[in-house]
Amino acid sequence: MKLRQKMFIGSAFLAVIPVVITAFSTSQIAGTLGQQALTQSAQSHIISIRDTKKAQIEDYFNLVINQLQVYANARTTIDAMRAFKEAYPKFKDEAALHTEMEVSGEEGPIEGPPVPLSLPIEEYKSAVRDYYVNDFSQEYGTLNVNEAPDMMEILDQLDDNSIALQYYYLADNPNPLGTKEEFFSASDASSYTQLHRHYHPYIHDIQRRFVFEDIFLVDHETGHIIYSVLKQIDFATSLIDGPYAKTSLGQVFEQAKQGLHNSVALVDFSPYLPSYDSQAAFIGTPIYDGDQKLGVLIFQLSIDPINDIMTYDRAWRSDESGRTGETYIVASDGTMRNDSRMLVEDKEGYLLAVQQAELPDDVISNIELKDTSVGLQKVDSPGTRAAFSGVTGFDLYEDYRGQFVLSAYAPINVPGLQWAVFSNLQEDESLERLQALTTEITKGILPIAAAILILGGIIGFFFFGRIAAPIGHLESTVTKVAEGDFTARANIKTGDELETLSNAFNGLLDDRLSALAKAEKENEMLNNSIIELLKASFQLSQRDLTVQVPVTEDVTGPLADAINQMATETSKVLLNVRRITDDVEHASNQVKRQGDNVCKVAEAERAVVDTTMAELSAAAEAMNKIAEVAQSCNEIATQATRSTQTALSTVTSTVDGMGEIRETIHETEKRIKRLGERSQEISSIVDIINNIAERTHVLALNASMQAAAAGEAGRGFSVVADEVQRLAESSRNATSQISALVKNIQVETNDTIATMDKTIGQVVEGSRLAERAGEQMKETQNTTANLVQVVEQIAMASRQQAQISNELRERAKTIQMSTQETGKQLEEQTLQTDRLVEYSKQLIESIRVFKLPLTHD
């Protein structure tokens, strides 16, 4: 593409791009501002709707509470409660007689003659059973996916009075299902029926006018529903122990009966079996007559007033809700409390949407059968979670149908209920106005942009002509020069940069011609230098590092000098490498020899380590045995110590006994000496006696001689003299014997004394020896005690030595393993050294291929 075309296109872009950018920016800014304004307007509108609906719902419940309290305090209600409460328990008995009546609506019955009641209670029960199984269960099946529960189980919980009332007001009620409340009086003459005939029209009118689903009067003591408007199957049952005590009706009764005057109990909507498991909510308050509590008044709330408020009486478009605007209530269980707009306007589309939202099939079927989303449609969104946290706000999120909506939400303040109100508008509808605004802005900007483009094109074409002509002349001059006409010159007189460019071009041509001549000469010199470089390069390629290239003054001079320098330095390096390689080879061989020697030494050390290991193992075993022996010696030494102690005690006792023996012998010696001394006295006495005997013998002999001389007269005296002589002889003999005995005793005594002296000496010596033995035993005891300590030390040292020997054995094992590993490493080192020697040889061979200075290789 030529410059002329480029400049034309560029100028066109210069005109178009600013216009487009300006138009686009204007459109975007206007769109953004419009979007903000429309979004703010939509938000304000949605919030306004939310606040309005919130106030309306709260006002509705305040109205219901006021109506409940007013009606509970009305005299009619109080009188009805008191009268029904009194008549209710007597109904079965009073209905024994009844009057056949023709029902004629609110105008009252026409009475006939009284006739006796012949139906027993079992027939009542059979008729009620048929009503439960046929009428109620069939209607239940048309409104629910599931079948009705076991109605007989419910019927079995009713007493006879309840069955009688349900017979007359349900089973025998001639009005079809859904209109049982139009039955004003049964065909009996009981006081209850008379009260029903009187009060039912009034209470029914209240139920119809104020749009309550049902109204109940409940005995707070028995829990019996003594009156209801609709006469469903909960009529006449007990809310304390009856089948519906655990339902929401039972809950509101339980709360209300415990409340004070004008207190209110409210229970949220939930499935209620007597209403065919449709959603039912209950609100109740106690009925007081002064300070006396009579019972409980309960309203069953209808969903219709709430639906009318939230759906604008199903006229959304007339209330500026737009095409997709919707308001609904969500309870704490996550389900709606009014019908979805889409369900009302497009039921098939709604059912398809909830199927795509994966709502359970049974829930979808119940929505289709009941034609309502109340209590069935689940809503779980950021808005519900925020509202149930007490937050009032506005947000954009995906709703229960999977559509993105602008949503304003807020909690509803109704005591007993945890509800939140939502006002939604689909995002695509809120953007429709923005799209329309954007279209209008675009339509307004396009004509202005077109006019600007046309004006810019005209101005650009004028300026383009003023620039394109000089450029064309300069282009022609350059073309001539390129074709070899170096005499061509540019001649432009525009007074701008193009003129400067043409002059510079002309000067460049002049300089170029003089440079060409000089370049030819330099080129020839350069060729010669290049040839020299090529020759040198060829020699270098032949590994000749002695080549020297001539150095010229041209551009090849530095290159030649660099080549010469490279060759010189490379030669030096290779010479140094060769010298180092020789050294490496020599060192490698030496390392190899040393490695071989080290391997041998390592092998010898390993053998020594193995031997040492074996010796250490033997030493360890020996030390273990020594430790065991030392332990045994320790035990023996301890036993020896105990034996030495015992011997020392024995020797000490012996020394003490020897001392006592010595004392005893000394005492015996003294007594024997005294015995010797006494025997000496006996000898002296014997000598005296012997002298006396001698003298007596001499005297006797003299007497005999005197008697003989006296003759016959001395005969008697001679006899006496003879006797005395014999007595003296006997005494002499006796004294001789005594003297002999005494001598013997003295000899024996002397011998005994000598023996005793010897014994005493021996005892003394024995005592001395025993004392020395005791001292020796004490020394032995001390020595043995020292020996025990030494043996204990030896045993401890032996155990420590055994432990050290075991540790040395383990360390020796470690050294053995290390030695083996070292041997392996040395073998590996030997292999590496062999490789190093081989690499050194290869490196030397590689270097020898070069021709180096100072060599002749």
Answer yes or no: are the C-beta atoms of 43 and 423 closer than 8 Å: no
**226-268 pLDDT tens trace:** 999 999 999 999 999 999 999 999 999 999 999 999 999 999 9
Tell me, what's the pLDDT at 403?
A: 86
Structure tokens at 62: 């305040």
Tell me, what's the pLDDT at 51?
A: 95
Lowest-confidence pick of 6-15, 140-149, 487-496, 662-671: 6-15
Tell me, what's the pLDDT at 15?
A: 60
Checking if the pLDDT of 62 tops 60, the result is yes
Tell me, what's the pLDDT at 443?
A: 63
Tell me, what's the pLDDT at 461?
A: 63
Domain map (residue ranges) of the chain? 557-847
Checking if the pLDDT of 109 tops 60, the result is no
Give the three-class secondary structure for 598: helix
Tell me, what's the pLDDT at 855?
A: 55
Higher pLDDT, 790 or 380: 380
Bridge partner list, 411:
420
Residue 152: name the closest of 276, 272, 243 by CA.
Answer: 243
Burial 624-660 (b: 16+ CB within 10 A, else e): bebbeebbebbeebbebbeebeebbeebbebbeebee
Checking if the pLDDT of 164 tops 90, the result is yes
Mean pLDDT of 774-787: 75
Burial 508-528 (b: 16+ CB within 10 A, else e): ebeeeeeeeeeeeeeeeeeee
Residue 287: name the closest of 210, 216, 181 by CA.
Answer: 216
Residue 376: name the closest of 244, 265, 277 by CA.
Answer: 277
Mean pLDDT of 352-367: 88
Q: Which residue has the tokens 């030669």?
A: 571
Write down how long the chain is: 857
d(CA 650, CA 662): 18
Structure tokens at 454: 């046309």
Answer yes or no: are the C-beta atoms of 283 and 260 closer than 8 Å: no
Answer yes or no: are the C-beta atoms of 296 and 259 closer than 8 Å: no
Q: Quick one: how many helices (H) and strands (E) in the chain?
A: 18, 11
Answer yes or no: are the C-beta atoms of 382 and 394 closer than 8 Å: no
Instruction: State the angle between helix axes of 556-710 and 715-847 in degrees (0 to 180), rounded to the nearest 10.
Output: 170
Torsions phi, psi for 74 (to 5 deg):
-70, 145
Structure tokens at 68: 């409940």
Which residues make Cβ contacts (< 8 Å) with residue 669, sequence separation at least 6? 753, 756, 757, 760
Lowest-confidence pick of 4-13, 467-476, 750-759, 784-793: 4-13
d(CA 479, CA 419): 89
Q: Confidence class of residue 746 from pLDDT cuts 50, 70 and 90?
A: confident
Mean pLDDT of 197-226: 96
Burial 668-703 (b: 16+ CB within 10 A, else e): ebeebeebbeebeebbeebeebbeebeebbeebeeb
Residue 350: name the closest of 371, 329, 335, 332 by CA.
Answer: 371
Higher pLDDT, 814 or 143: 143
Answer yes or no: are the C-beta atoms of 456 and 19 closer than 8 Å: yes
The region that residue 269 occupies, defined by phi over 0 for left and psi between -120 and 50 for alpha, beta otherwise, is beta
- What's the mean per-residue pLDDT of the chain? 80
Checking if the pLDDT of 460 tops 80, the result is no
Answer yes or no: are the C-beta atoms of 629 and 811 closer than 8 Å: no
d(CA 144, CA 258): 35
d(CA 3, CA 281): 86
Tell me, what's the pLDDT at 359?
A: 86
Tell me, what's the pLDDT at 220?
A: 96
Answer yes or no: are the C-beta atoms of 721 and 698 closer than 8 Å: no
Q: Confidence class of residue 112 from pLDDT cuts 50, 70 and 90?
A: very low
Residue 446: name the closest of 27, 780, 8 by CA.
Answer: 27
Supply the DSSP string of 530-596, one letter for each residue: HHHHHHHHHHHHTTBTT--PPP-SSTHHHHHHHHHHHHHHHHHHHHHHHHHHHHHHHHHHHHHHHHH
**393-413 pLDDT tens trace:** 999 999 888 889 999 999 999
Measured over all CA atoms, what is the biggest interatomic distance in the chain, rounded to whole angstroms?
240
Q: How far is CA 24 from CA 12, 27, 32, 110, in A?
A: 18, 5, 12, 88
d(CA 790, CA 782): 12
Mean pLDDT of 808-815: 78
Checking if the pLDDT of 373 tops 60, the result is yes
Residue 526: name the closest of 563, 559, 562 by CA.
Answer: 559
Checking if the pLDDT of 118 tops 50, the result is no
Q: Confidence class of residue 430 from pLDDT cuts 50, 70 and 90?
A: low
Structure tokens at 135: 């009428």
d(CA 602, CA 820): 9
Total Cβ atoms within 10 A of residue 374: 23
Checking if the pLDDT of 671 tops 70, the result is yes
Residue 60: name the closest of 272, 232, 239, 303 by CA.
Answer: 303
Lowest-confidence pick of 102-116, 295-309, 317-331, 776-790: 102-116
Answer yes or no: are the C-beta atoms of 602 and 819 closer than 8 Å: yes
**546-591 pLDDT tens trace:** 777 777 777 677 777 777 777 777 777 777 777 787 777 777 777 7
Which residues make Cβ contacts (< 8 Å) with residue 325, sequence separation at least 6? 46, 49, 316, 341, 423, 424, 425, 429
Of 99-108, 211-220, 626-635, the range with the highest mean pLDDT is: 211-220
Lowest-confidence pick of 101-110, 237-246, 375-384, 657-666: 101-110
Domain 557-847, second-level architecture: Orthogonal Bundle (1.10)
Mean pLDDT of 814-833: 77
Of 242-246, 467-471, 757-761, the range with the highest mean pLDDT is: 242-246
d(CA 289, CA 291): 6
Tell me, what's the pLDDT at 574?
A: 74
Checking if the pLDDT of 155 tops 90, the result is yes
Radius of gyration of the chain (CA): 74
d(CA 127, CA 167): 7
Higher pLDDT, 427 or 602: 427
Torsions phi, psi for 790 (to 5 deg):
-60, -45
Residue 230 is which amino acid?
Answer: L
Checking if the pLDDT of 2 tops 70, the result is no
d(CA 444, CA 159): 84
Question: For residue 143, what is the enclosing H or E element?
Answer: helix 137-143
Checking if the pLDDT of 114 tops 70, the result is no
d(CA 775, CA 704): 80
Checking if the pLDDT of 100 tops 50, the result is no
Tell me, what's the pLDDT at 53?
A: 94
Checking if the pLDDT of 99 tops 50, the result is no
Share of the chain above pLDDT 90, in %: 33
Higher pLDDT, 667 or 679: 667
**165-193 pLDDT tens trace:** 999 999 999 999 989 999 988 888 899 99
Tell me, what's the pLDDT at 98?
A: 52
Tell me, what's the pLDDT at 236?
A: 97
Tell me, what's the pLDDT at 105?
A: 46
